[in-house]
């Protein structure tokens, strides 16, 4: 069955949809967690510490966190590889453009591809910035995420990269959530409006929620 799914354009798209929805679920949780920064360093740092102790005593220290990380890496890789393979196939299937071409025809598809590439680069930068600290601007200290976040958003490029990526996430989810419903066969004429509304609301809430943090730092609400 795995072979049938991976070898078919319809199946590979389903892999994209499921991995995309897993990432989407994670983003919702992540966004809510980020907002704790508005309650001060104590609460935010405590929350970050708690992430490492979730599930104890059944789970050992950091096991739950690592489990989530593994699921996310699998989702990102599955999503990116299928996106790459499907996009290559799509471009090959339509080699010559119309002389009289209409830009609208590929607007959503192009934004998804460019947005996806921006997101892939952002994910790498983001992990190196705030998880490992390799590209961090200040003196990165693990266990002190509040200060690390403030440092990142105290640089112009930290803000710029982050804002661009969050706008890309919003656009990606706007088309992606609705698309995933179609790919998984749960869309229908009667549900179309509801699905589009949920997609727009999710995109807006996530973008606004994520952007609240750099805006908070820039306006010194968080410092």
Partner 1 sequence: MKLTLRVWRQKNADADGTMSTYEVDGISPDMSFLEMLDTLNEELILKGEDPVAFDHDCREGICGACSLVINGDAHGPERTTTCQLHMRSFRDGDTIDVEPWRASAFPVVKDLVVDRSAFDRIIQAGGYITAPTGSAPEAHATPVPKPDADFAFEHAECIGCGACVAACPNGAAMLFTSAKVNHLNVLPQGAPERETRVLDMVAQMDEEGFGGCTLAGECATACPKGIPLTSITGMNKEWLRATRKAAKR
Task: Tell me which residues touch ligand HEM (CB under 6 A).
Answer: 13, 16-17, 20-21, 23-24, 27, 76, 79-80, 83, 87, 108-109, 112-113, 116-117, 119-120, 123, 172-173, 176-177, 179-180, 183
Q: What angle do CA 51, 23, 111 make, to 5 degrees?
A: 140
Considering CB distances under 5 to 8 angstroms, the limit depending on partner class, which of partner 1, ligand HEM, none binds residue 30? Answer: none
Considering CB distances under 5 to 8 angstroms, the limit depending on partner class, which of ligand HEM, partner 1, none binds residue 23? Answer: ligand HEM
Considering CB distances under 5 to 8 angstroms, the limit depending on partner class, which of ligand HEM, partner 1, none binds residue 177? Answer: ligand HEM
Considering CB distances under 5 to 8 angstroms, the limit depending on partner class, which of ligand HEM, partner 1, none binds residue 3? Answer: none
Phi-psi region of 62 (alpha: psi -120 to 50; beta: other; left: phi over 0): left
Nearest to 168 by CA among 222, 97, 117, 95: 117
Chain residues binding partner 1 by CB under 8 A are: 1, 4-5, 7-14, 86, 89-102, 105-109, 112, 175, 178-179, 181-189, 192
How would you class 113 by CB atoms within 10 Å of its CB: exposed for 0-12, middle for 13-18, buried for 19 or more? middle
Please state, in angstroms and rounded to a whole number, the distance separating the CA atoms of residues 156 and 86: 36
Name the DSSP letter for residue 98. P
């Amino acid at each position: 069955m795995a072979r049938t799914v991976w070898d078919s354009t319809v199946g590979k798209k389903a892999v994209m949809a499921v991995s995309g929805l897993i990432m989407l679920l994670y983003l919702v949780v992540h966004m809510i967690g980020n907002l704790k920064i508005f309650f001060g360093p104590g609460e935010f740092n405590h929350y970050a510490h708690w992430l490492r102790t979730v599930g104890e005593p059944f789970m050992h220290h950091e096991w739950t966190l690592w489990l989530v990380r593994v699921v996310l890496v699998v989702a990102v890789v599955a999503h990116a590889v299928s996106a790459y393979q499907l996009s290559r196939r799509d471009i090959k299937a339509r080699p010559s453009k119309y002389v009289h071409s209409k830009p609208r025809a590929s607007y959503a598809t192009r934004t998804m591809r460019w947005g996806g590439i921006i997101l892939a680069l952002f994910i790498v930068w983001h992990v190196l910035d705030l998880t490992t600290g390799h590209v961090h601007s200040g003196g990165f200290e693990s266990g002190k995420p509040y200060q690390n976040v403030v440092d990142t958003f105290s640089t112009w490029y930290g803000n710029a990269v982050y804002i661009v990526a969050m706008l890309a996430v919003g656009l990606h989810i706007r088309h992606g959530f609705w698309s995933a419903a179609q790919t998984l066969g749960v869309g229908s004429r009667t549900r179309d409006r509801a699905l589009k509304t949920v997609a727009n609301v999710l995109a807006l809430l996530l973008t606004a929620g994520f952007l609240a943090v750099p805006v908070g730092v820039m306006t010194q609400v968080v410092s």
